Structure 1
């Protein structure tokens, strides 16, 4: 396992073969061998190793075997077979989030976006701390900007140091400014989606409708160009937007329904109720590496810690 983690795949395979000579049906050795074969793109060999492990150990905990099996089929451009194996694994291990996530990735590659979104929703419900699922939800919902922003912000509460974190922050910044442009020193153009206006006025808004929140965000974003805000940093302006968005989430929550209202919205509502918007914003903006953000982290370690303690203890709805 150590050799595999270090990328020394050939050495790792040699060790697994030695172990299998001593115990030819050893499940751990077969599982690790299959993963290493997949990592070295020896997909056919990985598939055969997974088949062997499943046939020998049908009553053991082999959920990772199903994962490697499906992944290897997918990488070998055998998507339909991969989906079948993921389904077999899910039937046997319905609480293993990774199988739903990887099946979702296969469906994205097959351009079955709506089905993949359902799987990413399931995987993040089973494991709310899985960055990959949140990243997928943010990326695939770019046309639904509030949903995308919330998913990206939740991602940034878990990871604010990698290149993927930087991508999520850039997406949040871009989406928050969507539809707001300064035409000259005294004039700002605010473009609100007509459908958002229409949806906001409906009594029966349907599933995952964030039109009212979207309108508030647009109006708050326009205030960036107000004279009183001209000297604020990008993070300080974001705090204003987060305050407004999270407040309206609470205000209209009872009138809305759907996965994102029931899963993501309560997290941000409680975050605001706990007066954690400011430390959270500086955590989310760490990938920017601007001086003001780094300074906040240096001078407000207690507030940063307070957020992370709350974040860790937050109780997610099933």
Structure 2
């Protein structure tokens, strides 16, 4: 009889536990749905209901923190991120990121950097390195930002924002080529977003740098100088190529055609210069773009990363399906 009673109690407890867990998951899912719809207050109310069921859930505390961060209530986001971190389980990484971002948005970048540094000791994650680099750059710690964003890209080379940040860092350092290469890569990954058009125009501005047409027959070339001798030949070639765009033989070419021609020259000379050179720049960016040059893919690549500029690029891609398909197949390698 006692055994039967015990079994009945265990069975009832199991049903109750299952019901509570099911209700908890449903409530959290409702909160996430509200958050994704931009209804952050409703999301937080659902999460608070979930806390009544499980007051020791790091996930719930993190979701509350994230919703408060999204509605720009950074002090509350900081509070709930810390609660999630105190529980020290599988939601530790996103909670660290939300905490550090909340501190940064409150004008506490030094504290934010310390949180990132603590998290980096626990996790080898590209988002930590990226955010650490971003905050470091804003604090004027250029070399620290550079080292961190390189680690972010090595950790995940498909993260567009890391390449964009590296380009901005190299722009700050005054290195045109090293600002252009990650910008090409960013546009390869993200050709037509809200920020793509602006960054495309920045890429074009690098090509124009140091080239001034003073009269119909006179062009002044001033090659930007920096301490990076590896890319000095490319610096010279870009300026010379840009200057040649106004020559008689190129007068009937469109801006997109000239852009593709310039890219062909840049990528080809980069590959020729590589030889035995090693290191991040020569092993990540140069092989990709030189492969485009060798595989006759520079033209479709150039139009693909130009789609933010309007219908001329998209029309070309539609009218040259074979070339575009050949380029698209490169992604499948």
TM-score by length of 2: 0.85
Residue of structure 2 aligned with 1:40, choices 71, 74, 78? 71
Do the aligned partners of residues 10 and 16 (structure 1) sit closer, same or farther apart at CA in structure 2, a change above 3 Å counting?
same
Quote how far apart the aligned CAs of 1:224 are: 0.2
8 A contact 2:59–2:84 mirrored in 1? no
Alpha-carbon displacement from aligned partner over 1:115-146 (angstroms, at most 9, x marks no partner): 11221111122111111111111222222111
Which protein has greater RCO, CA pairs closer than 8 Å, 6+ apart?
1
SS of the aligned residue for 2:220 comes to strand
How many equivalent pairs are there?
300
Confirm whether residue 185 of structure 1 aligns to residue 205 of structure 2: no
Higher mean Cα deviation, 219-228 or 297-306? 297-306
1:160 is paired with a residue whose SS is coil
1:309 CA displacement? 3.1
Q: Distance in 2 between matches of 1:185 and 1:54?
A: 66
Equivalent residue number for residue 37 of structure 2: 6
Post-superposition shift, 1:290?
A: 4.6
Of 290, 298, 316, the residue aligned with 1:296 is 316
Q: Where does residue 106 of structure 2 map in the other structure?
A: 76
Pick one of 234, 245, 250 that aligns with 2:255: 234
User: Of residues 183, 191, 199 in structure 2, which corresponds to 1:152?
Assistant: 183
Q: How does 1:11-160 map to 2 (within 5 A)?
A: 11-56=42-87, 58-94=88-124, 96-142=125-171, 143-160=174-191
SS for the counterpart of 1:7 is coil
Q: Paired residue for 1:250, among 261, 271, 276?
A: 271
Q: Post-superposition shift, 1:222?
A: 1.4
Secondary structure of 2:215's aligned partner = coil
CA-CA distance at 1:229 after TM superposition: 0.4
Can you give the 5+ residue segments of structure 2 that lack an aligned partner in the other structure?
1-31
Partner SS, residue 192 of structure 2:
coil
1:316 paired residue number? none
1:280: which partner in 2? Answer: 301
Which runs of structure 2 are paired with 1:169-180 in the superposition (5 Å)? Answer: 169-180=200-211
TM-score (norm 1): 0.89
The structure that has the greater radius of gyration is 2
Structure 1: unaligned runs, 5 residues or longer: 314-318
Counterpart CA distance in 2 for 1:54 and 1:146 is 41
SS of match in other structure, 2:195: helix
Q: Offset at 1:231?
A: 1.0
Separation in 2, partners of 1:255, 1:184: 42
Partner Cα distance (1:290, 1:184) in 2:
32
Q: How big is each residue's C-alpha offset from its partner over 1:8-40, in whole Å with a ceiling of 9 and x where there is no partner? A: 110111111111111112232222111111122
Give the SS at the match of 2:289: helix
- Find 1:216's aligned residue among 218, 237, 250: 237
- The more displaced of 130-139 and 251-260 is 251-260
Question: In the alignment, is residue 311 of structure 1 matched against residue 327 of structure 2?
Answer: no
Whole-Å Cα distance in 1 between the matches of residues 231 and 194 of structure 2? 28
Quick check: 2:116–2:128 contact (8 Å CA) kept in 1? yes
For the residues of structure 2 that align with 1:54 and 1:177, how far apart are their CA atoms? Answer: 49
